[in-house]
Structure 1
Amino acid sequence: MCLKMSCVAIVIFLGLHVVPNIQAVTVDVKMRDDSDLSEFYHLLEASQVANSTLMYRHVTVFAPTNRAFQETDSNDEHGDLVLYHMSNLPKTLDEMGDSISSELDGNPPLWVTRKRAYPHDEIYINNAKILEGSNFKSTIKLPSGDVKTQVLHKISDVLEPIQSISRESPIYNPNAFQFLNQSDSLKLGKHRIRTFRQCVLNNNKEDIFKQDGGYTFFIPDEEGFKSPFRPNKVDRQVIDGHVVPNHVLFTAPTPNDRPYETLANTDNFKVTISFLIDPNSKRMYVKSNTLIGDAAHPTGVVLSEIVKANIPVKNGVVHLIQRPLMVVDTTVQQFLMEKEDGPVYKFYQAIADYGDNFMDTITRLQDITLFAPSNAAWEEEGVKHILQDRKRFKEILNLHYVKEKLPLDKIRQKSVNQVPTAAAWKNLYFNVIEGSNGSQTVTVEGGGVNATVITANIAATNGIIHIIDRVLGIPYTTVLDKMRTDPMLNSTYTLGMRSDFNKMLNKPNQRYTFFVPRDSAWDNTRMNMASTYKKIFMPQFSYHTKQILERHVAVGEKGFSMADLKRLSSSEPTTLRTLRDSLKIRVREHDGSYQIEWQNRWIRVFRPDVACTNGIIHVIDDAFLTESDVTVTADVDDAASSIASFTPHFVMILIAKWLL
């Protein structure tokens, strides 16, 4: 019995001493035992300085995962990479400021960005996100009795420091000007920045690249100066427009399309910069937006691809870009064809392959606004099929430009809501959607396709380019989907929902021609036929409402365009088979628009030829409606209702008399 109790006591004694050792795992052991950090730990083991730091000093380690190493081509031939992932300041997440110094020679900073996110804010070190499983903290006790605190964070990307080409004369922790001035001695791959450096020197703007603090610098690559005239356009204001003060903007944590003020902001100048990402190619772009300029610096957007991103320097971050910002020296045509993998290059390819002389046409114009579909827009199946029909495609191309300069602010202020295109009898229609946070989204409809403007006001010497997310004129929605999403057709859609009419508009194998009264048409009915309007929108009259809507829908083997209907009714009215019975109409062109004659009334077609996958919508200014459509049948219903309510009462009286 005593032996058993002694054994239990020994086990308890050992247990009490084992548990503290398990809890006192060091950062070194934590990394060694984490299989997801094996590649980084292997590099760390090979670095004598890094091992010494872990053994004897305070430290914060930013350890990239194995996946991060698989997605980068970085190498650590001299052991520099590991030291750039370490700091001799132990910092947990809530203790981090705007930057933290690294252990690499020269102690270049690691920049810290906090990004608002739900449910927890995200923290980035340079362009690497701190991952779950971070914030591990432990201590080590030295033989001298000193206690050192150590912290481990796991990160999503490998941190890449600036590296010198020569080991004999390395460049330690350069600021942006030193980076610019000594770029030929740095590992930048194929990129060279000599011309922009010379522009900075010629304009005595070195100081803005030397300033202490946190800046973002955009430096154009040599590729962007192929034009011999372009360097002369990079003056003092343009150089200022390449620098964002008080923000160190790495690409991953920076919100898409959020504008930041540049140094080119004075009483007479305002230039902002924002990042854009192409959702199709995932390429990163930067755009400068000159909101207030002068004769030498026109207003508008200049778009440039980031060709080498996130180069950390002592006073911020540098991004190498494909061409200088703020410089407007290309035509609309040149913008389309400037870069083979640019944001609208597939549009240019389609024009070159199937557009005949379209490019020559837009080049000759002096004032043009081009709505250029993004690369992703050309991936739609319907778009691919239409390319084989050259005549149809030429009509579609003509939908994408107007012969005037139309900046987005003019549309946002609602000073224009429709404008004629180069396609005959085809307009573009604009709508401004107000967001809950005060933001505004601008949509443009052409040929029945509603597209969103995703990048606006790209400036060219002969016009403006707006990048949109769909190809206009190639339908991708049914008649029902179009009714549901078009803000101008809400009233007709609501009537169709109440009367169980809408469901038939979604049949893919039918072909409809739907004459849809727009909302203002029903407003006119309310003023001119108040009683009829009231009954149409009452639930008990839904049967009559359905009949009225059915009169507006012709069915057949095809949907009829307004040009088709004008041709069919050139000599006498044409009769269309409708969902109800038939519709007898005549069509004419008058005062720049189509008109429909129905029962001796001429009704303007506000928006013709809205193409859908199962038919065509024509938006009209009045309904095919008469007061007798509801009044006569309503009287019968009222009478029937009165008899129904009266009969039980009458029967009760007779029964009472019989019982007496």
Structure 2
Amino acid sequence: MSALSRSSLNYREVTVFAPVNAAFDKFRGDLGQNLTCYHVAYNAYRLRDLNDTYLEPIQKGLPPLWIRNYNGDIYVNNALILPIRSDYQSNHRQDILGKPQVLHVIDEVLDPVLMNGDNPQTAYEFLRTTKDYGVKKFLRKIQQFKLEDLFDSDGVNTYFIPGDEGMDDYKMKMTDSYIIKAHVIPKRVLFTRPVPKNSIYDTLADVDYIYILLSFLKEHQKYYIKSNTILGDATHQNGEIKSEIIHQNIPVKNGVIHIIKRPLGVFDKVLTKFPYLPILDKLANDPYLNTTYVLGQKSGFNNLLKQPKKFTFFVPKDQGWTSVKNLYDYDRLLRMGYMNEIKKILGRHLIIGDIPYSMETLFNASSSNCVFLKTSSGRSCFSILYKNSDKKFVIKWNNVYIDVYKSNYECSNGLIHVIDRPLVTNSDFENVPEESGSFLQLWNALHKILTS
């Protein structure tokens, strides 16, 4: 017990929320001094006084204790008050100076998560400072659309924040101001237990032409939030999306935060087949394969795709080119003064022949060890694996494992296999010539592609 909580019990009028012993067995948070202070609130509140409201903890900087009545029960944050063992009232001393105190027993430990000085954090401050929950991508979108005030307001709301792993390139691009607003239920503080399941809640995405609703679900002991786009447009598809709540019930000054697995209101990208388009046209028209196309144009590599042949092309996603920055000397790639260096790298990804090779064909051919494929940059050994757990193919090349994001994309003159990163090695960045005048044009083009 902290000194503050001990002195409060000795001298103040307080309400104490005491978790049962079994609650601590399940608790995985920090058992620090803030924890005891978060279970003690100013003033004495009997059960009859606990309506939908909030209480102020005795220690500054901790978030409010949110009280909610639901189905005849009373909850503090996500913990149920056990009425038979609660509502015990007594004075801390038996004289005229005695102050009333009330004890309530609850079935969960109240977790303040963190503390920030003398002022409890708002939802925006939490997103800006936390290092434990992986929410920086959604934070960048909030800042991009200048919606900080929605998460930093004095009002109370329920916030759903997608984790970084669920925000791939496509979902990042599709997350606009309407999608961000769809992650906020206004004027309600909804923890996962004291909330009706399948009930509909309005969001801030409520305008004449975009209307998105949310509802809570519980399936197999897991909690989910479901979005339903009632009114949409060309970029906001009508329909439902379900996202698992992976970190529940984070209290903040202006409500509660739930970290969710994927963004709401954004459907998975469907790669539409263009069987009558040649590969080069497909690359030119797909914004998510743009880097490979522009590099091919600058280096002259794309001329190979104009031959009357059949092609098997392993095309890295745009994000895959960016990942080279973390794995290799990315700056050297940008300093390449001769286009034939880039052309050589792109050539490893292209097989030219009389027939294209599906991933299934390559997998069967390399089942024993590897299959030697004649790429436009020379023979290379590929091992094709299959991950049953993820239902996807994996390429092993030069002792590097690369996921196949999309296999067997049909075009009129071959197949595209979209891969998670390019086929590059450290040696590609050795003995690179010094910068030349022609290099500046290449660098500017690459910089625009890889930072957009």
Give the TM-score category using the shorter length: 0.5 to 0.7
Conserved? CA contact 1:199–1:235, under 8 Å: yes
Conserved? CA contact 1:56–1:142, under 8 Å: no
- 2:29 corresponds to 1:82: no
> CA shift at 1:256, angstroms?
1.4
Residue 154 (structure 2) aligns with? 212
Conserved? CA contact 2:60–2:117, under 8 Å: no
Structure-1-length-normalised TM-score: 0.40
Conserved? CA contact 2:62–2:114, under 8 Å: no
Alignment-mate amino acid for residue 175 of structure 2 = V
Q: Find the partner of 2:231 among 281, 285, 292.
A: 292
1:40-439 to structure 2, matched below 5 A, reads 44=1, 47-77=2-32, 79-97=33-51, 98-116=53-71, 121-131=72-82, 132-141=84-93, 145-163=96-114, 170=117, 172-184=119-131, 188=132, 191-225=133-167, 227-279=168-220, 282-331=221-270
Which protein has the bigger helix share? Answer: 1
CA distance in 2, matches of 1:103, 1:296: 48
Deviations 1:77-135 (A, max 9, x none): 3x11000000111111111241111113325210011112xxxx001000000013111
Alignment-mate amino acid for residue 238 of structure 2 = T
CA distance in 1, matches of 2:390, 2:122: 45
Residues 1:178 and 1:82: Cα distance change in structure 2 (over 3 Å): same
Secondary structure in 2 matching 1:229:
helix
> CA shift at 1:320, angstroms?
0.6
In the alignment, structure 1 segments of 5+ residues that lack a partner are 1-43, 334-347, 354-359, 365-660
Residues 1:237 and 1:149: Cα distance change in structure 2 (over 3 Å): same
1:242-641 to structure 2, matched below 5 A, reads 242-279=183-220, 282-331=221-270
Conserved? CA contact 2:15–2:42, under 8 Å: yes
> CA shift at 1:349, angstroms?
7.6
CA distance in 1, matches of 2:254, 2:28: 26
Secondary structure in 2 matching 1:114:
strand
Residues 1:316 and 1:350: Cα distance change in structure 2 (over 3 Å): closer
Secondary structure in 1 matching 2:236:
coil
Larger radius of gyration: 1
Residues 1:258 and 1:53: Cα distance change in structure 2 (over 3 Å): same
CA distance in 2, matches of 1:87, 1:351: 48
Alignment-mate amino acid for residue 48 of structure 2 = D
> CA shift at 1:231, angstroms?
1.1
Residues 1:171 and 1:147: Cα distance change in structure 2 (over 3 Å): closer
Secondary structure in 1 matching 2:206:
coil
Residues 1:58 and 1:234: Cα distance change in structure 2 (over 3 Å): same
Conserved? CA contact 1:75–1:81, under 8 Å: yes
Deviations 1:603-632 (A, max 9, x none): xxxxxxxxxxxxxxxxxxxxxxxxxxxxxx
The sequence identity of aligned pairs, in percent, is 37
Secondary structure in 2 matching 1:262:
strand
CA distance in 2, matches of 1:254, 1:152: 25
CA distance in 1, matches of 2:166, 2:390: 24
CA distance in 2, matches of 1:86, 1:296: 48
Deviations 1:173-230 (A, max 9, x none): 101111122223xxx3xx21111111000001111112223210001111112x2232
Secondary structure in 2 matching 1:312:
strand
* Structure with the larger RCO, 1 or 2 (CA within 8 Å, 6+ apart): 2
Residues 1:350 and 1:205: Cα distance change in structure 2 (over 3 Å): closer
Alignment-mate amino acid for residue 265 of structure 1 = D
Give the paired residue count: 281
Alignment-mate amino acid for residue 80 of structure 2 = K
Alignment-mate amino acid for residue 21 of structure 2 = N
> CA shift at 1:170, angstroms?
4.8
Secondary structure in 2 matching 1:113:
strand
Conserved? CA contact 2:79–2:109, under 8 Å: yes
CA distance in 1, matches of 2:183, 2:85: 38
Alignment-mate amino acid for residue 89 of structure 2 = K
Residue 449 (structure 2) aligns with? none
Conserved? CA contact 1:283–1:305, under 8 Å: yes
> CA shift at 1:243, angstroms?
0.1
Alignment-mate amino acid for residue 300 of structure 1 = G
CA distance in 2, matches of 1:289, 1:267: 16
CA distance in 1, matches of 2:24, 2:93: 32
In the alignment, structure 2 segments of 5+ residues that lack a partner are 273-386, 393-405, 411-452
CA distance in 2, matches of 1:214, 1:158: 23
Alignment-mate amino acid for residue 14 of structure 2 = V
Structure-2-length-normalised TM-score: 0.58
> CA shift at 1:268, angstroms?
2.0
Secondary structure in 1 matching 2:22:
helix
Secondary structure in 1 matching 2:85:
coil
Residue 440 (structure 2) aligns with? none
> CA shift at 1:239, angstroms?
0.5
Deviations 1:536-593 (A, max 9, x none): xxxxxxxxxxxxxxxxxxxxxxxxxxxxxxxxxxxxxxxxxxxxxxxxxxxxxxxxxx
Residues 1:278 and 1:238: Cα distance change in structure 2 (over 3 Å): same
Conserved? CA contact 2:137–2:164, under 8 Å: yes
Residues 1:232 and 1:351: Cα distance change in structure 2 (over 3 Å): closer
Residues 1:350 and 1:174: Cα distance change in structure 2 (over 3 Å): closer
CA distance in 2, matches of 1:224, 1:70: 31
Conserved? CA contact 2:9–2:92, under 8 Å: no
CA distance in 1, matches of 2:3, 2:171: 50
Secondary structure in 1 matching 2:37:
helix
Conserved? CA contact 2:161–2:259, under 8 Å: yes
CA distance in 1, matches of 2:50, 2:57: 13
Secondary structure in 2 matching 1:82:
helix
CA distance in 1, matches of 2:389, 2:248: 30
Conserved? CA contact 2:13–2:43, under 8 Å: yes
CA distance in 1, matches of 2:184, 2:28: 29
